[in-house]
Amino acid sequence: MNIHTLVQLLVVIEECTKPENVVEELQRAVRSYGFEYYGLLRHLRQSQDPWSLVLAGHWPEKWPQTYVAKKYVLIDPTVRYLAQAQRPFRWKESLAAYRRDPHQRRMEQMMADAHAHGLRDGYIFPIHGKSGVLGNLSVGGGPVELSPVEISLFETVARKAFWRLLDLKGEAKSLESASLLDMSLTRRELEILHYLADGLTSMEISKVLSISNHTVDWYMNGLQDKLKAKNRQQAVALAFRHGLVM
């Protein structure tokens, strides 16, 4: 019955003429599987506010505030793992992937905090474009066992809902053009670009990333060349214009 719900949703989403209709249908399907919470988001990078990138979602009360206040976005294992994942994965898989990471203790603290808010288990379904990950659907709450077929269907639903929402909002083309530029920037360049957009100096960025000040400047010179910017200020302005930072 649930698999039928997902298959039917793929047809219904295509027929929706308003963004709110897509959200309603997606939420109905997610809850039919017993997931209490979900979020359909544009791709999140470290240093960004995740809640500004939500296209649709419902999370536990006070969790968004806790997540931002404790700066979990900087160490969130699900966000980090999403950047390299080629397939859907369970939240706990991402934590296991960083067992020897220097931020492991903070990651475990974040997961324990999420558990205390009712986010005990869940899945993430990446949405890929030509340049890599463009977004994801995260579903969770209590433990739910999905079969391989259901995981595959959820991944298809995530992709369909993501692009349908952007299309109805008139944002699909801008995301596609931004992703093409995004493709030419390395992960480290994007990371430095976001810290720069947050107002950090080269020295401050070097301390956050544990690299030398000269290395940061080297990456910045490469960024300016790729963005065809005359200076750092223009590089940040162009990054905002192309949707590389928000």
92 and 35, same domain (yes or no): yes
**pLDDT confidence of residue 230:** 87
230 and 199, same domain (yes or no): yes
99 and 26, same domain (yes or no): yes
Contacts of 54 (CB under 8 A, 6+ apart): 39, 40, 41
Q: Would you say residue 131 has pLDDT above 80?
A: no
Decide if 208 is inside a domain: yes
Between the alpha carbon of residue 178 and those of residues 45, 132, 227, 242, the distances in Å are 15, 12, 12, 5
Residue 79's region, left for phi above 0, alpha for psi from -120 to 50, else beta, is: alpha
61 and 139, same domain (yes or no): yes
pLDDT tens-digit map of 83-102: 778 799 999 999 999 988 88
Between the alpha carbon of residue 101 and those of residues 80, 94, 97, 107, 205, the distances in Å are 11, 12, 9, 9, 19
**pLDDT confidence of residue 134:** 85
Q: Are 205 and 238 in contact (CB under 8 A)?
A: no
- CATH number at 201 reads 1.10.10.10
**pLDDT confidence of residue 45:** 59
Rounded to whole angstroms, the Cα distance separating 202 from 60 reads 37
102 and 189, same domain (yes or no): no
138 and 195, same domain (yes or no): no
41 and 134, same domain (yes or no): yes
Q: What is the mean pLDDT of residues 58-77?
A: 92
Q: Would you say residue 2 has pLDDT above 80?
A: no
**pLDDT confidence of residue 183:** 47
Read off the pLDDT band of 172 (50, 70, 90). Answer: low
Which of 44-48, 82-86, 222-226 is predicted least confidently? 44-48
- Number of helical (H) and strand (E) elements in the chain, helices listed first: 12, 5
Residue 48's region, left for phi above 0, alpha for psi from -120 to 50, else beta, is: beta
Q: Return mean pLDDT, the chain.
A: 87
Q: What is the mean pLDDT of residues 36-52?
A: 78
- CATH number at 156 reads 3.30.450.80
Quote the domain boundaries for residue 153: 1-175
139 and 235, same domain (yes or no): no
